[in-house]
Amino acid sequence: MDEAYRQTVNAATASLDWNAKEKLVLEITESQRKLAEVLSKLDEVRNQCHSMEEENAMLRKYRDNLAAAARTEDA
């Protein structure tokens, strides 16, 4: 009787372990999906930032050219 009980307990424990492992796998998979989304958004923001930096540089040149033109007209 003890052997049958032990086998039943082992089977139940293995089932619980399997369910716990399966839950962990699902949680890890979900975390990886969320991380991929965050990294994708980060790349998008970096690209936007780079574009804005380029636009800012062009606007500064334009401003400097306007200021230089205004100084030459005043002279």
Q: What is the pLDDT of residues 10-55, one digit of tens each?
A: 787 787 788 888 898 999 999 999 999 999 999 999 999 999 999 9
What is the predicted pLDDT for the residue at 39? 98
The rounded radius of gyration (Å) of the Cα atoms in the chain is: 32
Q: The pTM is what?
A: 0.61
Type of residue found at 20: A
Give dist(CA 51, CA 45) in Å, integer: 10
Q: Is 48 helix (H, G, I), strand (E, B) or coil?
A: helix
What is the predicted pLDDT for the residue at 56? 98
**Which residues, including other chains, have CB under 8 Å from residue 31's CB and lie 6 or more apart?**
none
What is the predicted pLDDT for the residue at 1? 58
Residue that has been written with the tokens 């991380």 in this structure: 35
